[in-house]
Structures are given as structure tokens and as C-alpha cells.
């Protein structure tokens, strides 16, 4: 296993509250993506965000890694705050890491929320091509395409500051780490293990998500033993940033 060192950041609440760990999507920092929801949950949970390798506050990766390595690195980061059960919510690749944790360490999870994700996202060839592009030209080459893919129509005009912060975190991400995350996604496929997962799961999708469309969210929830799904209007691929009020309400109701 590559010695991944992921940074955990307290986003809201305090240590006397139940721990909620949140994970970001590929190309975003956990603070840029989750702060709006974390602030709304501050009276209910101690919200701690864990950044991906080479993103936000986390150090770049120093070698190859796969999804189980990311899951173990998240557990190591969480141990700074708790060695007991905790709740978790992850977006896109953060949702994949969450699924991996339900397989590898179900005893650590009380409940889990998956947002804008799937048991398999995209095709391996496309991820390998994106990894090669980023290594050749850096992550900024993805800014325009990500702006079109991440957000539902009207979000960038409605909340330009938040959109700019998310896109800035993409441009600041370490290219080699981003490429490594693409390769981890290329190898990730839990479609045939969902029925073995016993952790209670809430799946949140975006009606306007083109990367992981609503039908994938519905199929994902149906695959779990204890899964439910909610598709949120006016959401593309980054539900916590695009509709923080609705996401907060859904998470709070499910996790309480």
C-alpha cells in the first residue's frame, strides 16, 4: 500500500457531538464542497472533512494506490477524532470510498450517505485518457469541461463565488495525485457486492447530473440491503454545494 497521508479538517460542530466524516469529489477540496452543508449541520454533528491526495490540505500521493488504500487512509485520518463508530457522507469518488468502507470496515460505520456516485463510474479507458491528459497538461486543462459537467444550469450565475472556489480547487490539485485517483476509479467496481452491504445507506442524486445520472442513483440504492434514494432538482454533480439546504435536511433526517 502506498503511504497515503490524508488531511482531516474540522468544518463545523465540536467533539461533544456525533462525528460525521465528509469526503469530496474528484478535483474539489472538502472545504470548498462541504462547508455550506457543514455550517447547517453545526448544531447536530461534529463535521470533519478529509481531503483526497494532492487536493485541499492533503499531501500529494507518492506512488500508485487503489480504492481500498484510500479507504484505509480515510480511517487513519479519522482516528485523530474517534476510534468508535461514525457516520460518513461522500460525493462522487468520495461516494466510492464510502462504499469501499462499507465493505472493508462496516463495523466502523453507523450509517452512510452517498451523493452523485455509483458502484462503477464511467469506463476504464476514459479514466486512463483523463489521467494521461492531466499528466501532460496539468489539472487546469479540465476547468472548462468541469464547469459544464459539475453544475446544474444556472448555478454558476446564482453562486459564482462558490463555483469559482470549486473550480480553483481543481486547478490547484496535484496532477500526479489526480491521475492516480482517475486510475483508482478505472479499477473500481462494486456492482456485484452491493447486496452484501449491511450498513444503512442513503443515496442522493442530482436531477441534472450527467456524470452519474438519476437512473444510476436509483439502481445503486436498490442494490443495497438497506438503501433509499432521493433525487434533488437543480443539482448537477455536486449536490452539497448546489443545494445545501435540501442536502442538509436529507442528511440530518437520515442520520438522526
| Per-residue pLDDT reduced to its tens digit, 46-58 | 999 999 999 999 9
Give the rounded percent of residues in the chain with a pLDDT score beyond 90: 98
95 is a domain residue: yes
> What is the β-pairing status of strands 86-91 and 19-23?
parallel
| 44 inside domain | yes
Q: What is the pTM of this model?
A: 0.97
- Segment 80-95 shows an average pLDDT of 96
- The pLDDT-based confidence of 71 (bands split at 50, 70, 90) is very high
The band of 136, judged by pLDDT with boundaries at 50, 70 and 90, is very high
Res 3: pLDDT: 76
Percent of the chain with pLDDT over 70: 99
Residue 160 lies in a domain: yes
**Res. 114: pLDDT tops 70:** yes
- pLDDT (tens digit per residue) in 54-70: 999 999 999 999 999 99
Q: Specify the pLDDT at position 256.
A: 84
Residue 158 lies in a domain: yes
Q: What is the mean pLDDT of residues 105-130?
A: 97
Give the angle subtended at the CA of 31 by the CAs of 60 and 156, to the nearest 5°.
110
pLDDT higher than threshold 70 for residue 184 = yes
CATH number for position 147: 3.40.50.1820
The average pLDDT across 124-138 equals 98
| pLDDT (average), residues 29-51 | 98
Q: Kindly state the average pLDDT of the residues 92-117.
A: 98
Is 3 domain-assigned? no
Distance CA 133, CA 243 (A): 31
Q: What pLDDT score was predicted for residue 1?
A: 46
- Within a domain: residue 94? yes
pLDDT tier at 2, thresholds 50, 70, 90: low
Domain total for the chain? Answer: 1
Mean pLDDT, residues 177-190 taken together: 98
The answer as to whether 232 is a domain residue is yes
Instruction: Indicate the average pLDDT of the chain.
Output: 97
Nearest to 20 by CA among 51, 53, 50: 50
Between the two ends of the chain, the Cα-to-Cα distance in Å is 35
For residues 88 and 8, what is the distance between their CA atoms, to the nearest angstrom? Answer: 13
Task: Please give the residue range of the domain that contains residue 246.
Answer: 8-255
Q: What is the 3-state secondary structure (H, E, C) of 41-107?
A: CCCCCEEEEECCCCCCCCCCCCCCCCHHHHHHHHHHHHCCCCCCCEEEEEECHHHHHHHHHHHHCHH
Q: Is residue 211, in this structure, part of any structural domain at all?
A: yes
- Given a cut of 60, whether residue 104 has pLDDT beyond it is yes
Amino acid at each position: 500500500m502506498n503511504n497515503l497521508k490524508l488531511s482531516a479538517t474540522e468544518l463545523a460542530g465540536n467533539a461533544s457531538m456525533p462525528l460525521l466524516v465528509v469526503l469530496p469529489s474528484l478535483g474539489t477540496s472538502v472545504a470548498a464542497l462541504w462547508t455550506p452543508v457543514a455550517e447547517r449541520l453545526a448544531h447536530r454533528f461534529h463535521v470533519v472533512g478529509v481531503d483526497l491526495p494532492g487536493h485541499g490540505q492533503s499531501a500529494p500521493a507518492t506512488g500508485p494506490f487503489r480504492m481500498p488504500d484510500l479507504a484505509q487512509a480515510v480511517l487513519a485520518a479519522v482516528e485523530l477524532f474517534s476510534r468508535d463508530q461514525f457516520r460518513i457522507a461522500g460525493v462522487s469518488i468520495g461516494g466510492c470510498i464510502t462504499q469501499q468502507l462499507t465493505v472493508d470496515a462496516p463495523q466502523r460505520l453507523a450509517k452512510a450517505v452517498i451523493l452523485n456516485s455509483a458502484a462503477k463510474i464511467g469506463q476504464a479507458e476514459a479514466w486512463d485518457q483523463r489521467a494521461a491528459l492531466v499528466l501532460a497538461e496539468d489539472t487546469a486543462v479540465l476547468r472548462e469541461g468541469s464547469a459544464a459537467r459539475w453544475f446544474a444550469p444556472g448555478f454558476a450565475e446564482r453562486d459564482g463565488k462558490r463555483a469559482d472556489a470549486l473550480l480553483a480547487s481543481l486547478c490547484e490539485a496535484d496532477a500526479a495525485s489526480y491521475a492516480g485517483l482517475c486510475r483508482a476509479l478505472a479499477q473500481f467496481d462494486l456492482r456485484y457486492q452491493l447486496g452484501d452491504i449491511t450498513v444503512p445507506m442513503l443515496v442522493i442524486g442530482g436531477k441534472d447530473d450527467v456524470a452519474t445520472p438519476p437512473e444510476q442513483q436509483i439502481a445503486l440504492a436498490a442494490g443495497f440491503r438497506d438503501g433509499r434514494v432521493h433525487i434533488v432538482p437543480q443539482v448537477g454533480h455536486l449536490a452539497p454545494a448546489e443545494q445545501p439546504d435540501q442536502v442538509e435536511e436529507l442528511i440530518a433526517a437520515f442520520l438522526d
